[in-house]
Amino acid sequence: MPIDVALDGHVATITLNRPDVLNAFNTEHLETLHNAIMTLAEEPEVRAVILTGAGERAFAAGADIAEMRDKRPSQALEFARLGQSVCLAIEAAPQPYIAAVNGYALGGGCEVSLACDIRIASENAALGQPEVTLGIPPGWGGTQRLTRLVGPGIARELIYTGRRVKADEALRFGLVNAVYPLSDLMDKARELANSIAANAPLAVRASKDAIARALDVELDTGLSYEAGVFALSFDTADQKEGMSAFLERRKADFTGS
């Protein structure tokens, strides 16, 4: 299978699994990943998802160049839409996604990581958008999400030059939130995922939805949305539980209802 999915408590881990080609994405790989994201989205017990790459060299080295080379424009459009649909599915998922970038995250690999809520990286990671070195621009959201994340100045430099950024530089740019030795990366990802999963799932989901609007709508509209989800959360059992637990000086036990 081009991906593996494992469940541990409230945390799912999706592993991109084509290590022979540094987990590059072909059509089958993308479709399988899309299906897995959609399936996990329907699982209320899953409260956080980690996305990582098999092996010790790559998260994903991009779209599969061997598959892409002979595409006609109409096929390339379809391929762009498929990759974009994976990124949109991650963003639309009820659970936060953590990209554990364990090596190269290039082109489409970087773009998939950019759709995740949080990126952490290993010391050997290298991220970038090398598409122009292949005669194409980014096609799975790099021009849009990289620009939103690191700002137009850095995004333009990285996309126009196609250069790879090592983990420490990625950390400086805010492209990743933290860098760890490769041997610690998955433990750190699980720690982060578990700390999210311990919180009220509907409140985390509402926060994800509201944050997504911050970059797309005017402040007034975003604030109205936030006030709406804030108010709705008072109709959940978890709101009563969270506040009661605080006042009773005990740990909250959230059920996602």
Question: Which of 24, 30, 150, 167 lies at the binding interface for ligand CAA (CB under 6 A)?
Answer: 24
State in angstroms the smallest separation of the CB of 225 from ligand CAA: 31
Query: Rounded CA gap, 226 and 81, in Å?
Result: 30
Q: Rule CB under 6 A: is residue 82 a binding residue for ligand CAA?
A: no
How many CB atoms lie under 10 A from the CB of residue 222?
17
Q: Which entry of 78, 91, 131, 248 is annotated as an active-site residue?
A: 131
Among 140, 185, 192, 193, binds ligand CAA (CB under 6 A): 140
Backbone angles phi and psi of 56, in degrees to 5: -115, 10
Active site residue 28: no
- Nearest distance from C-beta of residue 40 to ligand CAA, angstroms: 23
37 touching ligand CAA, by CB under 6 A: no
Angle subtended by helix axes 237-247 and 201-214, to nearest 10: 110
Contact with ligand CAA (CB under 6 A) among 107, 119, 167, 236: 107
CB within 8 Å of 139: residues ≥ 6 apart:
63, 76, 79, 80, 83, 84, 108, 131
**Selected range binding ligand CAA among 1-9, 41-49, 131-139, 151-159, rule: CB under 6 A:** 131-139
Catalytic residue among 31, 56, 91, 111: 111
Alpha-carbon distance values, 17 to 8, 24, 75, 179 (Å): 19, 9, 24, 22
Query: To which residue do tokens 């799932």 refer?
Result: 201
How far apart are alpha carbons 98 and 9 in whole angstroms?
16
**Euclidean distance between the first and final Cα of the chain, in Å?**
34
CB of 100 within 8 A of CB of 189? Answer: yes
Can you tell me which of 131, 175, 185, 186 binds ligand CAA, judged by CB under 6 A? 131
Minimum distance from residue 74 beta carbon to ligand CAA (Å): 16
Near ligand CAA by CB under 6 A: residue from 1, 66, 237, 243 = 66
**Is there a catalytic annotation at residue 218?**
no
Report, in Å, the least distance between residue 15 CB and ligand CAA: 17
Task: List contacts with ligand CAA (CB under 6 A).
Answer: 21-22, 24, 61-66, 83, 104, 106-108, 111, 130-131, 134, 138-140, 142
Which residues are marked as active site? 111, 131
